[in-house]
Amino acid sequence: MIKIGDKVPAMKLMVATSDGPREADTAELFGPGKVVLFATPGAFTPTCSAKHLPGFVQHQAELKAKGVDRIVCMAVNDAFVLGAWAKEQKAGDGIIMLADGSGMFTKALGLELDLTARGLGIRSQRFALVAVDGVVTHLAVEEPGGFDVSRAEAVLEAL
């Protein structure tokens, strides 16, 4: 599992934009500046839709005020699903919707979660991390079924 002091893995993924999916390089996305990444097990899933993403939408200005340059929401879903989710959640342009469709980035982070028995396949654990210039400075991984340390409010407290 990735840990504090590690560099965020470099690879190409897709992001959902208002103009449709576009390729993104994680080295650039997590490069210069301070980035908050929060990951959800899946778009449109109950806790993710009712609490996780809405918390970051609600607290965008406060995160930016604490020096955060980019806020990234990631799920093991495709960019079309993340685009629809962002629209439904009114996430706007302030949150980058990172689609890890095949789960390769999640696996590179060592934060995959096997939900095959529940019909969801391999997904991401629920977590939040802060990276400064591509290096992890804070990592908070939830216990299975938990929603505490990766909340927007918890990230604000950690900054």
Q: Is 73 designated active site?
A: no
* Residue 26: CB atoms within 10 Å: 22
For residue 123, tell me if it sits in a domain.
yes
| Alpha-carbon gap, residue 77 to 118, rounded angstroms | 16
Query: Could you give the number of structural domains in the chain?
Result: 1
Q: What is the pLDDT of residues 104-117, one digit of tens each?
A: 999 999 999 877 77
Alpha helix locations (H) across 6-151?
Answer: 26-29, 46-47, 53-58, 60-65, 79-88, 104-109
* pLDDT value of position 97: 97
* pLDDT value of position 113: 81
| Alpha-carbon gap, residue 36 to 59, rounded angstroms | 12
For residue 22, tell me if it sits in a domain.
yes
Q: What is the pLDDT of residues 116-144, one digit of tens each?
A: 777 676 778 999 999 999 999 999 999 98
- Provide the token pair at 34: 């301070």
* pLDDT value of position 119: 67
The percent helix, strand, coil of the chain (3-state, each to 5) is: 35, 35, 35
For residue 19, tell me if it sits in a domain.
yes
* pLDDT value of position 153: 98
Write the CATH number for 38: 3.40.30.10
For residue 1, tell me if it sits in a domain.
no
For residue 42, tell me if it sits in a domain.
yes
For residue 5, tell me if it sits in a domain.
no
* pLDDT value of position 121: 66
pTM of the model: 0.95
For residue 4, tell me if it sits in a domain.
no
Instruction: List the domain range (segments joined by +) for residue 49.
Output: 12-158
Active-site entry in 13, 39, 48, 113: 48
User: Average pLDDT of 21-47?
Assistant: 94
Residue 118 burial by Cβ neighbours in a 10 Å radius (0-12, 13-18, 19+): exposed
* Residue 69: CB atoms within 10 Å: 13
Nearest to 133 by CA among 64, 35, 12: 35
* pLDDT value of position 89: 95
CA distances from 7 to 112, 122, 131, 135, 148 (A): 18, 23, 8, 4, 25
For residue 84, tell me if it sits in a domain.
yes
Confidence of residue 12 (pLDDT cuts 50, 70, 90): very high
Q: What is the dihedral of CA 131, 132, 136, 142, to 10 degrees?
A: -30
Write the DSSP string, 117-152: GGT-EEEEPPEEEEEETTEEEEEEEPPTT--STTSH
